[in-house]
Amino acid sequence: MAIDWDPPICLILHGHSFMYRIFRLKRLIVVFFVLITSSFVGIQFIPTTRNESSEVSKTDISQVAEVPSDIRSILNNSCYDCHSNNTRYPWYSRIQPAAYFMERHIVDGKKELNFSEFGTYSRRRQKSKLRSIISQVNTEEMPLPSYTWIHWSAKLSEREKKLVEEWATRLRNEPVDSRE
Protein backbone atom coordinates (compact mmCIF):
# COMPACT_ATOMS: atom_id res chain seq x y z
CA MET A 1 0.00 0.00 0.00
CA ALA A 2 1.51 3.24 -1.15
CA ILE A 3 1.12 6.29 1.01
CA ASP A 4 0.38 9.50 -0.73
CA TRP A 5 2.23 12.27 0.96
CA ASP A 6 1.18 15.80 0.33
CA PRO A 7 3.41 18.33 2.07
CA PRO A 8 1.67 20.92 4.18
CA ILE A 9 1.02 24.14 2.35
CA CYS A 10 3.67 25.94 4.42
CA LEU A 11 6.38 23.68 2.89
CA ILE A 12 5.48 24.56 -0.67
CA LEU A 13 7.68 27.46 -1.69
CA HIS A 14 7.41 29.23 -5.04
CA GLY A 15 5.70 26.32 -6.71
CA HIS A 16 8.29 23.73 -5.62
CA SER A 17 7.88 21.27 -2.84
CA PHE A 18 10.18 21.31 0.16
CA MET A 19 11.71 17.96 -0.86
CA TYR A 20 12.52 19.28 -4.34
CA ARG A 21 14.36 22.26 -2.81
CA ILE A 22 16.38 19.89 -0.60
CA PHE A 23 17.29 17.84 -3.69
CA ARG A 24 18.44 20.98 -5.55
CA LEU A 25 20.52 22.11 -2.56
CA LYS A 26 22.22 18.70 -2.32
CA ARG A 27 22.98 18.77 -6.05
CA LEU A 28 24.42 22.29 -5.74
CA ILE A 29 26.67 21.20 -2.84
CA VAL A 30 27.96 18.19 -4.82
CA VAL A 31 28.70 20.36 -7.88
CA PHE A 32 30.48 22.89 -5.65
CA PHE A 33 32.74 20.22 -4.10
CA VAL A 34 33.48 18.66 -7.49
CA LEU A 35 34.53 22.07 -8.82
CA ILE A 36 36.68 22.85 -5.77
CA THR A 37 38.36 19.43 -5.88
CA SER A 38 39.05 19.56 -9.61
CA SER A 39 40.43 23.12 -9.25
CA PHE A 40 42.75 21.99 -6.46
CA VAL A 41 43.98 19.05 -8.55
CA GLY A 42 44.35 21.29 -11.61
CA ILE A 43 46.55 23.89 -9.91
CA GLN A 44 49.01 21.17 -8.89
CA PHE A 45 50.26 21.22 -12.50
CA ILE A 46 51.26 24.90 -12.34
CA PRO A 47 55.05 24.91 -11.92
CA THR A 48 56.97 27.20 -9.59
CA THR A 49 60.61 28.23 -9.65
CA ARG A 50 62.82 26.58 -7.06
CA ASN A 51 65.45 28.69 -5.28
CA GLU A 52 68.14 26.07 -4.81
CA SER A 53 71.91 26.20 -5.18
CA SER A 54 74.55 23.81 -3.93
CA GLU A 55 77.29 26.45 -3.81
CA VAL A 56 78.07 29.37 -1.56
CA SER A 57 78.76 32.26 -3.92
CA LYS A 58 81.87 34.43 -3.68
CA THR A 59 79.58 37.38 -2.94
CA ASP A 60 77.81 35.68 -0.02
CA ILE A 61 78.00 37.70 3.19
CA SER A 62 79.91 34.86 4.84
CA GLN A 63 82.59 35.17 2.14
CA VAL A 64 82.97 38.97 2.17
CA ALA A 65 82.59 39.72 5.88
CA GLU A 66 83.36 38.17 9.22
CA VAL A 67 80.36 36.10 10.22
CA PRO A 68 80.89 34.21 13.49
CA SER A 69 79.53 30.67 13.64
CA ASP A 70 76.70 31.59 16.02
CA ILE A 71 75.55 34.38 13.68
CA ARG A 72 75.92 32.12 10.64
CA SER A 73 73.70 29.58 12.39
CA ILE A 74 71.07 32.24 13.14
CA LEU A 75 71.14 33.53 9.56
CA ASN A 76 70.88 30.00 8.12
CA ASN A 77 68.01 29.08 10.41
CA SER A 78 65.99 32.30 10.37
CA CYS A 79 66.93 34.29 7.26
CA TYR A 80 68.49 32.33 4.41
CA ASP A 81 65.32 30.54 3.25
CA CYS A 82 63.92 33.84 1.93
CA HIS A 83 67.03 36.02 1.73
CA SER A 84 69.59 33.89 -0.15
CA ASN A 85 69.97 31.83 -3.30
CA ASN A 86 69.39 28.60 -1.42
CA THR A 87 66.09 27.74 0.22
CA ARG A 88 65.47 24.63 2.31
CA TYR A 89 62.06 23.54 1.10
CA PRO A 90 59.64 21.79 3.47
CA TRP A 91 57.39 18.91 2.40
CA TYR A 92 54.43 21.17 1.59
CA SER A 93 56.46 23.29 -0.86
CA ARG A 94 55.36 21.14 -3.80
CA ILE A 95 51.66 21.53 -3.06
CA GLN A 96 49.79 24.43 -4.60
CA PRO A 97 48.80 27.06 -3.52
CA ALA A 98 51.48 26.87 -0.77
CA ALA A 99 54.24 26.62 -3.39
CA TYR A 100 53.04 29.80 -5.09
CA PHE A 101 52.94 31.77 -1.82
CA MET A 102 56.41 30.52 -0.88
CA GLU A 103 57.77 31.51 -4.28
CA ARG A 104 56.34 35.03 -3.90
CA HIS A 105 57.82 35.39 -0.38
CA ILE A 106 61.23 34.25 -1.61
CA VAL A 107 61.23 36.54 -4.66
CA ASP A 108 60.15 39.52 -2.54
CA GLY A 109 62.64 38.66 0.21
CA LYS A 110 65.56 38.38 -2.20
CA LYS A 111 64.56 41.63 -3.86
CA GLU A 112 64.79 43.37 -0.48
CA LEU A 113 67.98 41.65 0.77
CA ASN A 114 69.96 38.77 -0.70
CA PHE A 115 72.74 37.51 1.58
CA SER A 116 74.14 35.51 -1.35
CA GLU A 117 74.78 38.75 -3.26
CA PHE A 118 75.71 41.00 -0.32
CA GLY A 119 79.24 41.48 -1.70
CA THR A 120 77.86 43.06 -4.88
CA TYR A 121 76.10 45.83 -2.93
CA SER A 122 77.76 49.23 -2.65
CA ARG A 123 79.16 50.03 0.82
CA ARG A 124 76.36 52.55 1.32
CA ARG A 125 73.72 49.92 0.47
CA GLN A 126 75.42 47.36 2.73
CA LYS A 127 75.26 49.79 5.65
CA SER A 128 71.62 50.52 4.88
CA LYS A 129 70.77 46.80 4.80
CA LEU A 130 72.61 46.21 8.08
CA ARG A 131 70.68 49.10 9.67
CA SER A 132 67.44 47.54 8.40
CA ILE A 133 68.42 44.15 9.81
CA ILE A 134 68.94 45.69 13.26
CA SER A 135 65.66 47.58 13.12
CA GLN A 136 63.51 44.75 11.77
CA VAL A 137 64.92 42.13 14.12
CA ASN A 138 64.35 44.40 17.13
CA THR A 139 60.77 45.24 16.11
CA GLU A 140 60.12 41.54 15.30
CA GLU A 141 59.21 42.34 11.69
CA MET A 142 61.76 39.70 10.71
CA PRO A 143 61.59 36.82 10.47
CA LEU A 144 58.04 37.21 9.25
CA PRO A 145 55.37 35.99 11.68
CA SER A 146 53.86 33.88 8.86
CA TYR A 147 57.25 32.12 8.57
CA THR A 148 57.73 31.57 12.30
CA TRP A 149 54.21 30.11 12.69
CA ILE A 150 55.37 27.12 10.67
CA HIS A 151 59.12 27.25 11.39
CA TRP A 152 59.13 27.63 15.17
CA SER A 153 62.89 27.32 15.44
CA ALA A 154 63.31 30.44 13.26
CA LYS A 155 61.85 32.69 15.95
CA LEU A 156 64.68 34.66 17.51
CA SER A 157 65.24 34.68 21.24
CA GLU A 158 66.22 37.89 23.02
CA ARG A 159 69.80 36.63 23.19
CA GLU A 160 69.86 35.94 19.43
CA LYS A 161 68.40 39.36 18.67
CA LYS A 162 71.13 40.97 20.75
CA LEU A 163 73.83 38.91 19.01
CA VAL A 164 72.52 39.90 15.57
CA GLU A 165 72.29 43.55 16.60
CA GLU A 166 75.85 43.62 17.96
CA TRP A 167 77.22 41.82 14.89
CA ALA A 168 75.39 44.04 12.38
CA THR A 169 76.43 47.19 14.26
CA ARG A 170 80.06 46.04 14.29
CA LEU A 171 79.87 45.15 10.59
CA ARG A 172 78.41 48.56 9.72
CA ASN A 173 81.45 50.23 11.24
CA GLU A 174 84.14 48.15 9.53
CA PRO A 175 84.95 47.76 5.84
CA VAL A 176 83.42 44.90 3.90
CA ASP A 177 84.96 43.42 0.76
CA SER A 178 83.02 43.94 -2.45
CA ARG A 179 84.32 41.02 -4.46
CA GLU A 180 82.53 39.81 -7.53
Are 37 and 157 in contact by the 8 Å Cβ rule? The answer is: no
Please report which confidence band the pLDDT of residue 178 belongs to, taking 50, 70 and 90 as the band edges. very low
Summarised one tens digit per residue, pLDDT across range 79-129 is 888 888 887 877 776 778 777 777 887 888 889 999 889 999 999 999 999
φ, ψ of residue 13 in degrees (nearest 5): -120, 125
* Residue 16, phi then psi, degrees to nearest 5: -115, 145
Question: Within the chain, where are the H helices?
Answer: 18-43, 61-64, 69-78, 80-83, 98-112, 123-138, 145-150, 158-172
The widest CA-to-CA distance across the chain, in whole angstroms, is 98
The whole-model pTM stands at 0.67
DSSP characters over 19-45: HHHHHHHHHHHHHHHHHHHHHHHHHTT
